[in-house]
Amino acid sequence: MKFALVEDQVMFRSLLRRLLVVECKGEVVLEAGSLAELRANMAVLAKVDLLLLDIRLPDGDGIDFLEDLTAQHLSVPVLLLSSSCEDYIVHRVSRSFVQGFVHKDEETKVLLTAVQIITAGGTFFSPRFTERKRALQGEKESFEKKLSAREQEILSYIGAGFSDAEVAANLGISASTAQTHRRNIMEKLDLHSAQEILAYAMKTGFTTPDRLK
């Protein structure tokens, strides 16, 4: 089997490479630490049996990169890796076309099982993910039942500290529209200050400490 491995933490990437080569009897034909490196080698992805892709990378988001695969008409199976399993991550992964997700705190055997199942044509989502997804579906007050897709996108910016003007510039909308979205989001989630928005965004995974402005 041939693998593409995208992970920015060098030590963890080395451990993953060893597992893929030794335990899975495979070959890592592409190894990258950023989306820029990955995009520079897109042609290689047509030749791999599985892409192992970290969600949080220095220059972007692994889930967003899935749109690049669609644009390039590449159907390579994808296994997402992450040390985060907050609600918004679970929500986004569930709505993507990936074949699997493994939390980095899972046992090594979980990753090996995922690789085996996905390369055989199946799908695999690790226990931490499936447990959180089940709980989220049962929560009547969850954000996915209250906020539209656009509001969720805007919350990811607001939670990272972007002003209404900056949100507007990034999304191609007016500042007044961004302000209206902010007000609606706060009302729907019963949040009353910028501090409460930040705390909520951090707790649910709409932002991370490294994304804060």
Residue 180 sits in the same domain as residue 76: no
- pLDDT for residue 84 is more than 60: yes
Domain of 204, CATH number, reads 1.10.10.10
Query: Mean pLDDT for the chain?
Result: 91
90, 105, 137 - which closes a domain? 137
E-only strand ranges, the chain = 2-6, 27-32, 50-54, 56-57, 60-61, 78-82, 100-103, 124-125
CA distance 161 to 182: 12
Which CATH number is 49's domain given?
A: 3.40.50.2300
Which residue, 137, 156, 184, sits at the end of a domain? Answer: 137
* Confidence band for 201, pLDDT divided at 50, 70 and 90: confident
pLDDT at 111 (0 to 100)? 95
Considering its fold, how many domains does the chain have in total?
2
The 3-state DSSP class for residue 45 equals helix
Which pLDDT does position 203 carry in this prediction? 84
Pair of tokens at residue 152: 């969720």
178, 112: one domain: no
> Is the pLDDT confidence value at 20 over 90?
yes
54/101 Cα distance (integer angstroms): 10
The domain boundary, picked from 137, 168, 197, lies at 137
Co-location of 90 and 53 in the same domain: yes
Q: What is the model's pLDDT at position 211?
A: 65
Q: Which domain holds residue 77?
A: 2-137
Residues 188 and 125 in one domain: no
- Please tell me the predicted confidence (pLDDT) of residue 135: 83
Instruction: Assess whether pLDDT exceeds 80 at residue 54.
Output: yes
149 and 92 part of one domain: no
Residue 118 has pLDDT above 90, yes or no: yes
13 and 110 within one domain: yes
- Same domain for 12 and 94? yes
Mean pLDDT of 153-172: 91
User: Would you say the pTM of this structure is higher than 0.75?
Assistant: yes
- Same domain? 110 vs 171: no
In angstroms, the CA 205 to CA 85 distance is: 8
Task: Band the pLDDT of 53: cuts 50, 70, 90.
Answer: very high
Examine the domain organization and report whether 119 and 203 are in the same domain. Answer: no
Distance (Å, whole) CA 178 – CA 196: 18
198 and 123 inside one domain: no
Residue 212 pLDDT > 90: no
Q: Is the Cβ–Cβ distance between 100 and 118 less than 8 Å?
A: yes
Q: Report the share of the chain in percent with pLDDT over 90.
A: 64
User: What pLDDT score was predicted for residue 209?
Assistant: 65
Average pLDDT over residues 59-87: 91
99 & 149 share domain:
no
The confidence score (pLDDT) of residue 213 equals 52
Residue 115 sits in the same domain as residue 70: yes
For residue 154, the model assigns a pLDDT of 93
CB of 105 within 8 A of CB of 84? no
